[in-house]
Structure 1
Amino acid sequence: MYNSKITGLGFYVPDNVVTNNDLSKIMDTNDEWIQERTGIKERRWIPKNSEDTSATMGAKAAKIAIERSGLTKDDIDFIVFATLSPDYYFPGCGVQIQAMLDMKTVGAIDIRNQCSGFIYALSTADQFIKTGMYKNILVIGAEYHSNGLDKTTRGRGVSVIFGDGAGACVLSRTEDNNKGILSSHLHSEGKYADKLIVKSPSIKHWVPEIIASTEEDTSYFPYMDGTFVFKNAVVRFSEVIMEGLKTNNLSPSDIDMLIPHQANLRISQFIQKKFQLKDEQVYNNIMNYGNTTAASIIIALTEAYEKGKIKDNDLVVLAAFGSGFTWGSVIIRW
């Protein structure tokens, strides 16, 4: 039976840094208010004159990951792209990557699971490799949030949180069942879909209707019931991490590195305290990049690895919770 392991990592974020003080100039907010509630100090937003998109950022991250894997684009058998902010309503970003990297006519799919998107994407790629169908899969998480945010005082509760960026990894086949992805665990609870949502445009409420509306229509801006999401997140994070550990006869003390989805620093700190983990056992970078949704875990994983915080044989746990609600975890022996 085959197993899969990460052989290459890469990430890309725009150069444009937007600080909390920058936001205070366009909405009624301040650095203290944002940091107290989210832990965020700054984020990256694509500037208006840039040609960057979710797909182009994903392609830039992918090139780095492929190079670091020691492979070439011609060795990639399949593409999995996770995003909530695709360049087009359709087609998805996966096929754009195939074209941008001038790859063979390999298959490509898009994962639309928002904050848990990369966990779902990695799990999907893992299954394709474990069944023997593919040998090397490119997995990407990328988001272009800034162009779709309500950057006014009305939308400050959401808009201060999100940033732009992309990360990628190459997942490759290995016959060593003691290394690589040990297990993945996925869940959903759709009855709370309206607690974190962008309602429009949709087939029920398409662009011409929005334009023709005589009343102010905010359905195309993200909505979040922050308190409700926070309460559910801390519960589901804990459950799915423990599920993964128990499946592999492990305990929280075995974790060498926990990389949670970077939604809110307070959530990460809550989980760290509950599992009695030291600072060096948890990696957070939300203070520098904000919440990059499907890109957050892979950006953080790449950065932690680049800094030497993940070593051979370490137990690495990835976990996410978000819109849907969906949540999941991946247990990796590095």
Structure 2
Amino acid sequence: MRYSKIVGLGHHVPETVITNDYLSTIIDTNDDWITERTGIKERRYADPTKDTVANMAAKATRMALERAKLTEKDIDFIVFATITPDYFFPGSGVLLQRELGLESIGALDIRNACSGFIYALSVADQFIKSGMYKTILVVGAEMQSTAIDMTTRGRNTAVIFADGAGAAILQPSEKQGILSTHLHSDGRFAEELYVRDPGSSRPREERQPDQILDTTHFKVVMNGNQVFKHAVVRFMEVINEALTANNMTKDQIDLLVPHQANLRISQYIQEKLALRDDQVYNNIMRYGNTTAASIPIAMSEAWGEGKIKENDLLCLAAFGSGFTWASALIRW
């Protein structure tokens, strides 16, 4: 049987560190309030005068290629997950292709927010298994700091979201690699975590740039209680779904890499699965919630720290806007 295998991981985070204490100087908040509710101590913000979603993704890609002992020319397809593309259109996939100096290869953009990387991984997995492509670049990258409502009104989201990029290189393998992926959504809760504009379903006069005076609807809206309530349920469901599909149990998981949404969610899942601290990888404390980038950044760091070893069983899980949720089970 033909499998797809991750042969390289890379990540990039901006240089600028934004601490909770700094945020407390511009928003009515403090370190204790943020830490208690999210587990976040600091995050990274990009410099929009030099950073873009595409060039951060390119830096993560080059690290992944170097680790895989490959070059840009080996890539024959790109799957790019982001909700903060550099332009309204085209998607950032083609901009990444340009950054890497590639010509004419396909680039697919995925907009599934926090679940985006696993959705992208699932797409790439199918392309590899079908034999359509040999080397696929899967990226999750976000620049959210430029769209955050940096006021007390928006503090529930301002303290959470941040910037960064992560990349994975997939190739075919005769040995087990990605065992299965599991994707779900429930659009009934779309407005519980969303950004309304710039959307197309508006009267023409509401979409004219010279008439847009109120930018409220360009900011993230999140019902934190609803998101938390659904997340803890869906995380468990989709992790168990992956294990059941492969006739495995939670005791066989060597490392769980959850989407870095909230440390309290990760700790809840860890408790329910009865996993040790060394079986769950969290870095939200340092980077905040980087949405589609959070899982590949965490995987890249974990691999670099020697916490992902050959033959380990990895479980990836995510929940976010849509609502969408997803999991992947991987034999390393």
Instruction: Report the TM range for the smaller structure's normalisation.
Output: over 0.9
2:5 corresponding residue in structure 1: 5
The DSSP-based 3-state class of the residue aligned with 1:187 is strand
The amino acid of 1:105's aligned partner reads S
Per-residue CA deviation, residues 27-65 of structure 1 (Å, 9 max, x unaligned), is: 1000000000000000001135x3111111001111111
What secondary structure does 2:216 align onto? coil
The corresponding residue for 1:267 is: 265
Match of 2:142 in 1: 143
The residue type paired with residue 180 of structure 2 is S
How many pairs align? 330
Of 318-327 and 59-68, the range deviating more from structure 2: 59-68
Mapping for residues 3-82 of structure 1, pairs under 5 Å: 3-48=3-48, 50-82=49-81
Distance 1:212 1:157 in 2: 29
C-alpha distance in structure 1 between counterparts of 2:145 and 2:249, whole Å: 39
Does the aligned pair in 2 maintain the 1:143–1:292 contact within 8 Å? yes
1:189 to 186, 189, 196: 186
Distance 1:93 1:284 in 2: 27
TM-score (norm 1): 0.96
The whole-number CA distance in structure 2 between the counterparts of 1:129 and 1:238 is 28
Q: Secondary structure at the match of 1:219?
A: helix
Once residues 210 and 265 of structure 2 are traced to their aligned partners in structure 1, the CA distance between those partners, rounded to angstroms, is 38
> Equivalences for 1:1-334 in 2 at 5 Å?
1-48=1-48, 50-176=49-175, 179-205=176-202, 208-209=207-208, 212-213=211-212, 216-334=214-332
Identity of aligned residues (%): 60
Q: CA separation in 1, counterparts of 2:61 and 2:103?
A: 15
Moved segments of 4+, more than 2 Å: 204-214
CA distance in structure 2 between the aligned counterparts of 1:314 and 1:104, rounded to whole angstroms: 36
- Residue deviations 1:168-197, cap 9 Å, x none? 010011112xx2100000000011000000
Q: Which amino acid aligns with 2:44?
A: R
Structure 2 Cα separation of the partners of residues 173 and 40 of structure 1? 37
What secondary structure sits across from 2:120 in the alignment? helix
Change (3 A) 1:196 1:211: farther
Counterpart contact for 1:210–1:217, Cα < 8 Å: no
Structure 1 SS opposite 2:123: helix
Bigger Cα displacement from structure 2, 97-106 vs 138-147:
97-106
Matched AA of 1:42: E
Aligned residue type for 1:153: T
**Structure 2 portions without partners, runs of 5+:** none
For residue 220 of structure 1, report the CA deviation from its aligned partner.
0.6
Q: Deviations over 1:136-176 (max 9, x none)?
A: 10000000000001000010011110110001010011112
What TM-score do you get using the length of structure 2 for normalisation? 0.97
Q: Quote the offset at 1:212 in angstroms.
A: 2.2
RMSD: 1.2
